[in-house]
A and B are shown apart, each in its own frame.
Chain A
Amino acid sequence: MSTLDYVTGLRRIIGTRPVNLVGAAGIIVNGDGELLLLRRAGAENWGLVTGTSELGESLSETLRREALEEAGLRIGAVELLEMLSPVSLAQVANGDQFYSYTALFRVTDWSGTPVSDCMEIAEARFFSLNDLPPLTRLGLKAQAWLA
C-alpha cells in the first residue's frame, strides 16, 4: 500500500480542508555518528525520513515503510523518543491543508545504503553533526536529541 491510499481517499471526500494527520519520523545515525538527512524535491532544508500513516498502520511500521520507500534502508529495532504535536497549519503546493502529529523514533538497527527515490526525495546522505545543512523542524529536533 502506498501513502496515497488513505490520504488520497480522504482528500477525495474532504478536498483541501484542514485535517489532523499522524505519522512517523526517524533519527538514523551511521557508525561514524553521522545523521541521515533527506532533501525533498523543491525544498531547501534537509529533514528526516518521515511520512503519514496508512489506515490502522502502527507508527513504527510507518517509519519502516517510509525508510524503505524514501531512502532504500531496512530498519530493525526502533525506540520512541517523543510525540510531536503540530505547531502550525501546513499547506502543500496543491492547497491541501493539515496539522501533523509525528512520532519521533531513534533507529537503533538498520541496514542498507541510502539512495534517494529520485522523485519525492532529491538527495539522501549522511552529515557530520559539525557540518549540518539548513534543517527542517524535524531535522532540528534530531540535532537537539543528538546534542
Chain B
Amino acid sequence: MNYVRDLRALIGHAPVNWVGVCALVLNAENEVLLQRRTDTGGWGTPGGIAELGEPLPETLRRELWEEASITPIHPEFLTVISGPQTYQKLPNGDEFYQVVAVYLVREWHGVPVPDGEEGTELRFFNLDHLPASLGPVDGEALGLLQVR
C-alpha cells in the first residue's frame, strides 16, 4: 500500500493536506533522535504520512520501525500541528500542507538503526544544540520540548 504515491499519480504536484505523525524520541540524557532525510537533505524527526485509513498510532509504530528499527512503548500524544506554516515544496515539485500528530516516545524496544532509504543517518541531539534548517513542523514540535 502506498497512499501518497497512488494519490500523486492522480493529482501530480498539486498542493494537498497530508495527515501524519512525528515522533520526539528522547533518550535518558533527554536528547532527541533525528534523522537526515534523503528527500530534503536536512535533519528531521522520524515520522511520516498516514496510509489510507491508517490509525495514527499505527502510523507512528510503522514509521519508527521503518525509519529507525525501534518499537515505541507507551507513546504520549502531545498535540497536532497544522496550518499555513506547515507548507512544503519538495525538490521534485510536490506541494503539501501538513497535519501532524506529535508523539513523545521515552521508551522503546530495539536500537535505532537507519533504514538507508528515507533516512541516511540517525543521531541523538542535545536540545540546546539542534541542527539548523529544521522543517517548519519539526521546529514547532521540538519547541514543545523546550518549554516542558
Closest A residue to B6 by CB, please name it: A17
CA distance A6 to B84 in the complex (A): 14
Chain B residues, Cβ within 8 Å of A18 = 52-53
B137 to chain A, nearest CB (A): 12
CA distance A61 to B82 in the complex (A): 10
> Are A85 and B3 interface neighbours, CB within 8 A?
no
Instruction: Tell me the interface secondary structure of chain B in the complex.
Output: mixed
* Among B11, B57, B97, residue most surrounded by chain A Cβ atoms (within 10 Å): B97
User: Which of B12-20, B34-42, B66-74, B112-120 is near enough to bind chain A?
Assistant: B12-20
CA distance A13 to B97 in the complex (A): 18
Q: Is B125 an interface residue (CB 8 A)?
A: no
A77 to chain B, nearest CB (A): 15
Interface residues on B, range: 20 to 34
Chain A residues, Cβ within 8 Å of B58 = 85
A82 to chain B, nearest CB (A): 7
Q: Which A57-76 residues have a C-beta within 8 angstroms of B?
A: 57-59, 61
Chain B residues, Cβ within 8 Å of A80 = 79-80
Q: Which A residues are within 8 Å of any B CB, using their own CB?
A: 6, 10, 13-14, 18-22, 53, 55-59, 61, 80, 82-83, 85-86, 89, 99, 101, 103
* 12 A-B contacts (beta carbon < 8 Å): A6-B17, A14-B11, A20-B3, A55-B16, A56-B17, A56-B83, A59-B82, A82-B77, A83-B56, A85-B57, A85-B58, A101-B50
